[in-house]
Amino acid sequence: MMPVSQEPKPADNKSTESGEPAIDIQQVTKSFGPQKVLDGVSFQVRRGETLAVLGRSGTGKSVLLRIIIGLQVPDSGAAMILGKNMATASAAEINEVRTQMGFLFQHAALYDSLTVEENVAFPLVHHRKDMLDSERRDRVNDLLKEVGLEGHSNKMPADISGGMQKRVGLARALVLGPSILLLDEPTAGLDPISSGEIDELVLKLQREHQLASIVVTHDMVSAKTIATRIALMDKGKVVIEGSFDDLQKSDEPFVSQFLHRDF
Amino acid sequence: MSSTATGELRPNPIIGMLEWFGDLGSFVWSVLRAAVTPPFQVAEFVRQLDEIGAKSFPLVALAGSAIGVVLALEAHSSLVRFGAKSLLPATVVFSIVTEMGPIITGLIVSGRVGAGIGAELAAMKVTEQIDAIEASAVDPEKLLAATRICACIISLPLLTLAASFFGVLFGWVATAFLEPITLVRFVSDGFKGASFKDFLPPTFKTCVYGMIIGTVASYQGMRAKGGAIGVGSAATTSVVLSSLFVILADVILVKVILLLFP
């Protein structure tokens, strides 16, 4: 139960059209047993913005994404996504919001019994039953072309590289035309060239689709490339939120240590 | 919970078992609701019918055949001793159709399908594929668990019929080597005096076996944790628990059938 003092601010379903934030995290806390991984986290993301969330391992960054997509429920606070509080919404409301979100998992989480084409088509098969098979195939092929995987549609996930799997995951996340994109460590485990290609792809998709995006990453170079704002987390709290220049100017010891370790 | 010598808390096995049954009950309720509310995952259900039913057929047929041969050889040896070898066809047929066919099918399918479902769903769980399904606004219990459980419920009676058929057939083959007898005579003598209540209830009790196998394996798979160890553990416990519960269910159902169909 949320304390009354932390009742979410009212929002409507047309939050993005009226300029309200697509993602509005309000004082979210989450613990696993004695370990508090999120401690009063708050931020907003509007369409066209990309927020990079950085921090050490175990600071709750991925848990934050899972709360936003509704895979976990916060202990307190509100996760207002397109006007719906994912912490208290019904299953049907959560699923309605999810159709407007795309999630790229850290290891892509491709369905290994399906081909690349079937993986990307999965959300369409389940949510766009009005589409003809040919329309579905065209949409999938257009997206595979957009992520640079034209010609790989009949391959199985085990037959493609990690970078290619991430691209397929990205295509699958975009296939329903979402307004929100969540990326969990999109460049983790990739070589610098592949990481750069993923960054360029995310930037291009952001420009074309004007998404409200959150990228959880350890990669400061990637964050600097794709993010309009950066939030640095430590011990479950957002220590600083702003541009990369704001981080460089900060005199917080943790911020300085984090930046200098990477640079 | 009790403490070890080093002061660490040791989980209470009784509490753990009660928690397991409680969580299983919650899972069953959730899957039941998913199974009866649209949209229905027909394509996945049909795919599972093939995976669970059609692909188990060869193994079940082989097991049924082996049981038929063993039963015929053992029964012949015993019946000759008591001067009742004319009862051999009926002994073989009734034993297979009323009990051996169903239980062997249940145990074979527990092993093959239970391990397969447990391992597959556990691998999906530890690689976040189930989370990805849920994040795509698709109910994973409806797509993965309900389809598999329904496919098991439908497939088990059909596989049992196959096991019984091959059991009777190869029971005749084994008998014919010992005492020349035509297949027609063997079947005629075997089913003499039989009625539908002798083989329909035992065949349909395997629907309960199917529900047990599908439910236990899906539950173990979808609750797996801990990478490769978790996948292995899910596969193993799926087989062990579903086999055990199938046997326990058989004990109960035999009594129920005898009461309902005296």
Q: Which of A112, A124, A181 to mutate to test the interface with B (most CBs of B within 10 A)?
A: A112
Quote the DSSP letter at residue B50.
I
Q: CA–CA separation, A58 vs A38, rounded Å?
A: 10
Contacting residues of B for A70, CB less than 8 Å apart: 135
Q: pLDDT class for A197, splitting at 50, 70, 90? A: confident
Full-model pTM: 0.88
Contacting residues of B for A106, CB less than 8 Å apart: 128
> Given this model, what pLDDT does residue B261 score?
80
Write the pLDDT tens digit of every residue in A72-98.
999 999 999 999 999 999 999 999 999
Q: CA–CA separation, B44 vs B150, rounded Å?
A: 11
Write the pLDDT tens digit of every residue in B141-190.
999 999 999 999 999 999 999 999 999 999 999 999 988 899 999 999 99
Rg (CA), chain B: 22
A67 close to A133: Cβ distance less than 8 angstroms:
no
Is B108 within the bounds of a domain?
A: yes
Averaged pLDDT for residues A176-191: 91
User: Residue B250 belongs to what H/E stretch?
Assistant: helix B227-260
> Given this model, what pLDDT does residue B216 score?
97
> Given this model, what pLDDT does residue B35 score?
93
> Given this model, what pLDDT does residue B1 score?
57
Cβ distance A71 to B131 less than 8 Å, yes or no, reads yes
Task: Residue A103: name the closest of A12, A211, A240 by CA.
Answer: A211
> Given this model, what pLDDT does residue A10 score?
36
Query: Does the pLDDT value for residue A40 go beyond 80?
Result: yes
Query: Does the pLDDT value for residue A99 go beyond 80?
Result: yes
Length of chain B: 262
Query: Does the pLDDT value for residue A247 go beyond 70?
Result: yes
Which tokens go with A139? Answer: 């949409």
Note whether B259 contacts A: Cβ–Cβ < 8 A: no
Is B87 within the bounds of a domain?
A: yes
Which letter, b or e, does each residue of B36-47 get, where b requires 16 or more Cβ atoms within 10 Å of its Cβ?
eeeeebeebbee
Is B176 within the bounds of a domain?
A: yes
Helices (H), A128-252: 133-146, 162-174, 192-209, 220-226, 244-249
Nearest chain B CA: its distance from A87 CA (Å): 15
C-alpha count within 13 angstroms, C-beta hemisphere, residue A250: 21
The sign of the torsion formed by the CA atoms of A133, A139, A144, A148 equals: positive
Going by their DSSP bridges, the two strands B9-10 and B2-3 should be labelled as antiparallel
Is B124 within the bounds of a domain?
A: yes
Is B139 within the bounds of a domain?
A: yes
User: By CA distance, what is B39's nearest residue in A?
Assistant: A126
How far, rounded to the nearest angstrom, does the alpha carbon of residue B32 sit from its chain's CA centroid?
A: 19
Contacting residues of A for B128, CB less than 8 Å apart: 105-107, 109
> Given this model, what pLDDT does residue B2 score?
59
Count of domains in chain B? 1
Cβ distance A71 to B138 less than 8 Å, yes or no, reads no
| Range in A30-39, A245-254, B109-118, B242-251 the model is least confident about | A245-254
Nearest chain B CA: its distance from A92 CA (Å): 9
Quote the DSSP letter at residue B12.
P
| Range in A124-138, A163-177, A189-203 the model is least confident about | A189-203
Q: Please state, as a whole number, how many other Cβ atoms lie within 10 Å of the Cβ of residue B230.
A: 18
Q: Tell me which residue range forms the domain holding B176.
A: 12-260
Cβ distance A101 to B135 less than 8 Å, yes or no, reads yes
Is B214 within the bounds of a domain?
A: yes
> Given this model, what pLDDT does residue A18 score?
53
A215 close to A223: Cβ distance less than 8 angstroms:
yes
Q: CA–CA separation, A187 vs A197, rounded Å?
A: 9
Q: CA–CA separation, A121 vs A144, rounded Å?
A: 11
Nearest chain B CA: its distance from A42 CA (Å): 22
Query: Does the pLDDT value for residue A257 go beyond 80?
Result: no
Q: CA–CA separation, B72 vs B176, rounded Å?
A: 10
- In whole angstroms, how far apart are CA A2 and each of A22, A202, B182? 21, 35, 78
Query: Does the pLDDT value for residue A6 go beyond 90?
Result: no
Helices (H), A184-230: 192-209, 220-226
Q: pLDDT class for A30, splitting at 50, 70, 90? A: very high
Contacting residues of B for A107, CB less than 8 Å apart: 127-128
**3-class state of residue B11 by DSSP:** coil
> Given this model, what pLDDT does residue B4 score?
58
- In whole angstroms, how far apart are CA B217 and each of A132, B134, B203? 35, 20, 22
Q: pLDDT class for A188, splitting at 50, 70, 90? A: confident
Measured at the CA of A33, the angle between CA A29 and CA A34, to 5 degrees, comes to 80
> Given this model, what pLDDT does residue A14 score?
41
| Range in A123-132, A235-244, A252-261, B13-22 the model is least confident about | A252-261
Which letter, b or e, does each residue of B99-117 get, where b requires 16 or more Cβ atoms within 10 Å of its Cβ?
ebbbbbbbbbbbbbbbbbb
Cβ distance A109 to B127 less than 8 Å, yes or no, reads yes
Which amino acid is it at A97? V
Is B198 within the bounds of a domain?
A: yes
> Given this model, what pLDDT does residue B176 score?
92
Is B5 within the bounds of a domain?
A: no
> Given this model, what pLDDT does residue A109 score?
95
**3-class state of residue A239 by DSSP:** strand
> Given this model, what pLDDT does residue B260 score?
87
- In whole angstroms, how far apart are CA A259 and each of A37, A189, A226, A239, A254? 22, 20, 17, 13, 9
> Given this model, what pLDDT does residue B18 score?
93
Averaged pLDDT for residues A120-126: 96
N-to-C CA span, chain A: 43
**pLDDT tens for each residue of chain B, 262 residues long:** 556 566 556 678 899 899 999 999 999 999 999 999 988 999 999 999 999 999 999 999 999 999 999 999 999 988 888 888 889 999 999 999 999 999 999 999 999 999 999 999 999 999 999 999 999 999 999 999 999 999 999 999 999 999 999 999 999 999 999 888 999 999 999 988 788 888 889 888 999 999 999 999 999 999 999 899 999 999 999 999 999 999 999 999 999 988 888 7
Cβ distance A111 to B129 less than 8 Å, yes or no, reads yes
